[in-house]
Amino acid sequence: MTGKVHIIGAGLAGLAAALRFADEARAVAIHEAAPQAGGRCRSYFDSSLGMTIDNGNHLLLSGNRAALDFLREIGSEAEFVGPGSAEFSFLDLTSGETWRLRPNDGPIPWWILQSGRRVPGTRAADYLDILRLLFAPQGAPIKAALNCRGLLYERLWRPFFLAALNTAPEEGAASLAAAILRETLAKGGQACRPLVALNGLSSAFIAPALRHLESKNVQIFFERRLLGIKFDAGRVASLDFADERIEVAAEDKVILAVPAPVAASLVPGLITPQSFRAIVNGHFKITPPAGFPPILGVINGTIEWLFAFPDRLSVTISAADGLIDLSRDELARRIWSDVARATQIAQPMPAWQIIKEKRATFAATAEEELRRPKAQTAFSNLVLAGDWTATGLPATIEGAIRSGFTAAEAIL
């Protein structure tokens, strides 16, 4: 094949697209605006904690097949660790109850028949309601297909879909929730084992991907922000960066793997999602109590998921738009109050860091779902990638990687 491929953006979508070309006899260049790769999925050295942390705690599920393919291809599958069988620990901060949700490995969900494996206070019959979600019509909100009240909702479906959609499930798109369900829990416990990057996201995804791509002669340019695209006769004719213009030859292709608002500003007439939801992460430099679960779902608290790393306790709060304007000190105090109760740690608040991502992901509502464009564009040599394109999944690592693969395949 001839012609160079220009990939704009070195987030997971752009890196995944590049991986697909790595073994092709084709010149590939990645142009990234930031001084580093990874976009919304990376690690950095945090000087107030004195350690390297992730921009946000990221959870994979073992059913995320594209993400696991990506990791295998770059040789770092072992960086993501989790239990051999699906298991999720929960704590209800109001009642003090704790439980472990333990779906069985296979697709026939006999776990709901065993009170010790399901949510306490629920009956097996309660779980049948979820089937309506799987068959909800396109464009329906979750609340039209699922009873968004009651113990099972509060203790299972709400935390599960809130984390997956980063959108209050009541306003979330049923199709996106159903897609997650189909690829994970509905396949059985072996497809929903929780996996976390033991040494951080950059060590698992980014550094090995860059090494792999460089070994395949993919060129990677940092601090190279695309400022404009010149279109001519229905195709991209040149790419305007701050310090240079690159002419795009007739046989060259461009993959635009930047966030939705950036893509919308660069491509005339492009319709993209317009509303976003925040994520707040809190990190506390303290050794977790011995035997504390690696991931704890917290019900009836400000915090939603508590991650226990060897050197810190980290919290994720999804769809955190109601908290984003609070001061960092106030957030740290509130979050630590929940963490201290959940862990029964009695000491004063340790060194902390609060990371607010205001536009963490697009809002996974039925309205925004309609605004997600396909990879192919109206321009013959321009393809889109990114978690906001029409992947059929919410904005996740899995969606971003699949979008990159799809964009590359559209060209290949």
The residues binding ligand FAD (CB under 6 A) are 8-14, 31-34, 39-41, 55-56, 58-59, 225-226, 257-259, 262, 279, 281, 357, 360-361, 386-387, 395-398, 400
CB of 53 to ligand FAD, least distance (A): 11
State both tokens at 202.
Answer: 């950059």
Q: What gap in Å lies between CA 263 and CA 269, rounded to an integer?
A: 10
Nearer to ligand FAD among residue 303 and residue 345 (C-beta): 303
Nearer to ligand FAD, 145 or 295 (CB): 295
State the nearest-atom distance from the C-beta of 394 to ligand FAD, in Å. 8
Angle at which helices 174-183 and 158-165 pack, to 10 degrees? 100
Shorter beta-carbon distance to ligand FAD: residue 199 or 287: 199
Report in angstroms how near the CB of residue 1 gets to ligand FAD at its nearest. Answer: 24
CB of 245 to ligand FAD, least distance (A): 14
Closer to ligand FAD by CB, 361 or 381: give it. Answer: 361
> Minimum Å distance from CB 124 to ligand FAD?
29
With respect to ligand FAD, which residue has the nearer C-beta, 14 or 189? 14
Residue 69 or 97: the one with the smaller Cβ distance to ligand FAD is 69
Instruction: Provide the residue type at 275 as one letter.
Output: S
Residues 6 or more apart in contact with residue 338 via CB below 8 angstroms: 93, 298, 301, 302, 303, 315
Token pair of 353 as six digits: 């860091």
Decide whether 70 or 336 has the Cβ nearer to ligand FAD: 70
Q: Whole-number minimum distance, CB 235 to ligand FAD, in Å?
A: 19
Name which of 183 and 357 has its Cβ closer to ligand FAD. Answer: 357
Q: Looking at beta carbons only, is 5 or 112 nearer to ligand FAD? A: 5
- Rounded to a whole number of angstroms, the minimum distance from the CB of residue 130 to ligand FAD is 21
CB of 198 to ligand FAD, least distance (A): 15
Asked if 10 contacts 220 with a C-beta cutoff of 8 angstroms, the reply is yes
Least distance in angstroms from the C-beta of 188 to ligand FAD: 20
